[in-house]
Each structure stands twice: as structure tokens, then as C-alpha cells.
Structure 1
Amino acid sequence: MPLIQRLAIIGVGLIGGSLARILREKGAVVEIVGIGRGEANLRKAVELGVIDRYSLDPVAGVEGADLVFLATPVCSIIDMVARIAPALAPGCVVTDGGSVKGEIVAPCEKLLPPGTFFVGGHPIAGTEKSGVEASFAALYQGKRCILTPTAQTDGEALRKVVRMWELAGSEVVCMDVEKHDRVVAAISHLPHMVAYSLVNAVGGYDRFSENILKYSAGGFRDFTRIASSDPAMWRDIALMNREAVLEMMDFFSEYFAGLRNLVEKGDGHGLEAFFARSKQNRDAIS
């Protein structure tokens, strides 16, 4: 028997579309309803077989769904949950893919009517591309998905969301919301802040009468790929996880200042040790 009878996905782009593709491929869902504001994108999703039908009205779109997945910008999740809450069917499970949890989970739990359930989630996967045409079934394969259950989380609802992400190919890890926000500030949000800053710094370097970004090669392009991500999305993430992001930016600044000091002093042994420690840490990533 399929895990989900009717799945409503609010935001059928890379994240939502990829989840729809893999769950359909696994036979884990009977019907998929796409919800969003861009009708052209939703039409394309139907043409591609990612969803069965769509609605521009979130309230109508979630009717009869036993699972709702929110793949919208983090700043819109609370308002969207408030909007759809009265229309949710008894037993419906609502979960999300937002990369910030501290400002989302508790408010969403309070908004849902009795007999419906919220499970905070964050699949750690993605590319710099967006839109349903960027989605693909293997996006979550071998990746981790963090769920953030609380004392109020329903056990059956949690098990259903865990199973959904396992079917998508992810390793599911549960942690509290504060740990989640600090972990992702380090492994995801900080790298984006660094990449955006690096591209702006190099692009703004004015010693020469030309933009030297045109000389960038593989290393620079690989390192800064994520700076092509959606600016509005990352604006919202930086603001909603501001405390943890600032902490990690300050922590990073200490290491960067230390490296600068080694270069300034011409400390070859110190530089090699710094780089060797970094290589060791990087090589240990599984």
C-alpha cells in the first residue's frame, strides 16, 4: 500500500519537484497536487509528469491531502501554514523543507488544528538551479535529511515523514531546533555567505580597468557555484537564522585572520600546518 494517498506540494521547484519525482518512481504516492503562484511552472510540472494536477489556491489545493510538503521560502512558511490550516483533513501531516527551524516549528505547531500534525524538516540537498525543470529523482539519494521533532510531535506523523525521506534515499537524522540552526549555519549558511562575499570582492577589485572575473577558472567557479543561488531566498535565510549565522561568520573571521597573520609573517611551517589540518578535516568528510 502506498505511503501517501494524496500529497500536496506547495512550491513545485527543485526541492518539491524532486521529492515528487522520487516518490512517484517508488510507488509511494497515489496522487500529487502541485500548488504555487506561477501557473507556467505548474503546467510544465504536469507536462513532465511530476504532478497530476495543480491549484493556484493553497486552500483548495490541500483539500483531502494526507501529507502536505512546504517547499516555499522560509519567510513564507508560517503564513502559508496559517492559511491552509482550516482546510486540512483530519490526520493530515504537514512538513517542510526550510533550512531554518527555530522561527518556524513552534509557531506552525500552534497554528494547526487538533488532529493534524506538523513535523519540521530540512533535506540537506540542492543545486543552484531552480524551477521544476531543474528537479530530478536522485536529488536526495545518499543525502541527509534533518527532522526536528518536539515534545508535541505526534509519533505516527514523525514515522510517516521519516519513511518518506528514507524512500527518497536520504539518511534521516533527528535533532532539536537550536542544534539544527547552528549546524546548518556552519555547513550551509556560512559557505553561502563566503561565496557571495568572494564573488563580490573579486568582481569589485578595481586595480585594473576590467572585471577580472572573466579570468576565473575551475577552482574559483567550483568554489563559488553556490553564489548563483536565489538571492531572495538567501536574504530570508540570513535574516531568519541571523544569530547563528553571525556567530559562524565571527568564528570564521578568527580563522581567516589567523591565516592572514601567517601569510604576513611569512611563516611557511605555520601555513603548511594550517593547510594540512584543513586537508585532514576535508578528507574525513564522508
Structure 2
Amino acid sequence: MTPFKKIVICGVGLIGGSFALALKKSGFKGKILGLERSPDILERAHALGIVDQTGLSQEETLRDADLIVLSVPVAQTGNALKMILPYWHDGLIVSDTGSTKTDVVAMARDVLGEKIAQFIPAHPIAGSEMNGPEAAVDDLFVGKKAVIAALPENSRADVERLADVWERCGAIIHHLTPENHDTVFATVSHMPHLLAYGLVDYVANHPKSDLFFQYAASGFRDFTRIAGSSPEMWRDITLANRKQLLVELDAYLKEIELIRDLVDKADGCGLEKIYTNAQEARMNWLNAIENPEKKKMN
């Protein structure tokens, strides 16, 4: 398999920066460059060893790249692709790391037209509530899923090359269609973030907010950890996947209404049944899916 020689990462924060550090740790011999909104961010990334060089023009950075990874807020995908177009060539592969896929594919088709065959949507299932180059680590993707949502136009060889670089980062490759991806992650990723943000906002606006935060402990901290994530990024994700997210939210509200009714009726047996089912489902998930995949990496 032909190795990439020049990789450009648009957005060298947590995900993009960790991708670069992981590749370097794996022994990647090519050049890794970055593009950022702020020269200061790029300088910080260079100081941290994420990118190999700074002070280059956009043309110098993008020219002759054979892999470009867009690690930008999903709403910026179209603009990022327009920026790349003048430097497009036949051997180029472009991918992304966005948390939604159908909207990203729609933007890519609109901007790229017949060049869409060279765009391969992807989503590493890893993260942190921290942001910026300083949050990047070289083991973020170890034992984590990386979903490739390949398009019918993508060549098998290009998909395999992209999968190979993610495997070099320690990721376990999974494949979903863009549509299935968005249905799945509306439930297990996007809705949990929405709920965490909502709970913290509720407590922050409560008349007894100071008192509540004073006594908030591990349960509150663990449940709301992801509310420390980038508001800009999650605003875009929420709006990008709003159609599927609304479907899942409406279904979840029915579950909350059921639990509220059981609390109102002091129905301990009903509550315990739900809690037991949830506990068993979570343990089955950990034992049957999460833990075995981590063992594959050992």
C-alpha cells in the first residue's frame, strides 16, 4: 500500500492534533502540515510537535498534499472544501472527522461535483471535553472506533489507504452508510451531549445555583463531563443532525414521562424494573462490545 507523503490537517485541535501525534508515534515518515484560522494556534501546534512547519502560505501548505483531513466544525466543511479546490489533483484523498455525515456529504457533493470520488467521509469515535492543540494526545484513538462512511463513488483502494492511517493511530475500523451513521449517533452521542448541556444550564440558572454546585459530586461530574466540550462544535452538530435528533428526543421524552409517572405514583417496582434493565444493558454493552474491542488492540 502506497504510504502518504504529505498530510495536511485543517484544524489542529483535539482531534486533528491527536491524529498528527498518533501518526508520528506510529513511525509515519512523511510531512504533516496544518491550517488554522489563527497563526497563533498553528504556532502553538508547531511548538507541541503536532505540525512540522509553520509560516507557509496557504498554497505552499496545500500544494502536492496527498491526504487532507478536515477537522473543522461540520458547518465549515463546505468552505474548507472550496479553499482546497484550487490545489486539487488526481492523487489527492480528502476526508473529515465530523460527527455528522449526511450533511457533510451533501456539502461535499455541492462543492466538489464529479470530484466527490476523492472525498471519503470518516468519524473517529473519540474525544474529550478539552479543546485546542494543548488537548491533543498521541493515544486518543487507541482501541477506539473510527467509522468510515464511504460513498459509492469512492474507490476501494482509497478507502483502504484511509483505513490504514487510522489503524496506524490505533483505531478499530468500522463501516456505516452516512444515513446509518447519523441515526446511530443521534442517540448515543448527540443526545447525551444535549442532555448534559441542558442539565448544567438548568442548574446554573436555578435560584439556588450556588448551593447546588457546592454539593455537586461525582455523579453530577461524570454525567455532565461532556458539557465541557466546545459549544460552537456541538451547536453545529445539533443543527446538522436536528431531524434525526428530534426523532430520538421525542422518543426519550416519552421515557422521561414514564419515569415521572412512576415517581409520582411511588411505584418502586416499576422504577426498579427500568433501573435493572438499564444496568443489565449497560453491562452487556461493556462486556460484549467495548471490552472485547479494546482487547483486540493488546
| TM bracket (short chain) | over 0.9
Aligned to 2:255: 255
Instruction: Identify unmatched segments of 5+ residues in structure 2.
Output: 291-298
Give the Cα separation in 2 of the matches to 1:253 and 1:142: 33
Give the Cα separation in 1 of the matches to 2:181 and 2:15: 19
CA contact (8 A) 2:8 2:69 kept: yes
Alpha-carbon shift at residue 200 of structure 1 (Å): 1.4
Point out the more displaced range, 6-15 or 36-45: 36-45
Give the Cα separation in 2 of the matches to 1:227 and 1:221: 10
Alpha-carbon shift at residue 97 of structure 1 (Å): 0.2
- Give the counterpart letter for 1:255 in structure 2: E
CA contact (8 A) 1:58 1:84 kept: no
- TM-score, with length taken from structure 2: 0.90
**Cα-to-partner distance string for 1:188-232 (whole Å, 9 max, x where unaligned):** 1000010011111222222x4845222211110111011111111
Aligned to 1:136: 137
Aligned to 2:188: 187
Give the number of equivalent residue pairs: 285
Q: CA separation of 1:10/1:210 partners in 2, compared to 1, >3 Å: closer, same or farther? A: closer
Alpha-carbon shift at residue 2 of structure 1 (Å): 7.3
- TM-score, with length taken from structure 1: 0.94
The question of 1:125 aligning with 2:126 is answered yes
Aligned to 2:294: none
Alpha-carbon shift at residue 82 of structure 1 (Å): 1.7
Instruction: Identify unmatched segments of 5+ residues in structure 1.
Output: none
Give the Cα separation in 2 of the matches to 1:115 and 1:277: 44
Give the Cα separation in 1 of the matches to 2:144 and 2:154: 24
- Give the counterpart letter for 2:101 in structure 1: K
- Give the counterpart letter for 2:27 in structure 1: G
Structure 1 consecutive aligned stretches of length 4 or more whose deviation exceeds 3 Å: 54-60, 109-116, 208-211
Aligned to 2:296: none
Q: CA separation of 1:210/1:277 partners in 2, compared to 1, >3 Å: closer, same or farther? A: same
Aligned to 2:164: 163
Q: CA separation of 1:243/1:144 partners in 2, compared to 1, >3 Å: closer, same or farther? A: same
Which has the larger helix fraction?
Answer: 2
Within-5 A mapping of 1:241-280: 241-280=241-280
Give the Cα separation in 2 of the matches to 1:60 and 1:209: 51
Alpha-carbon shift at residue 57 of structure 1 (Å): 5.2
Give the Cα separation in 1 of the matches to 2:209 and 2:143: 46
Identity of aligned residues (%): 36
The question of 1:42 aligning with 2:57 is answered no
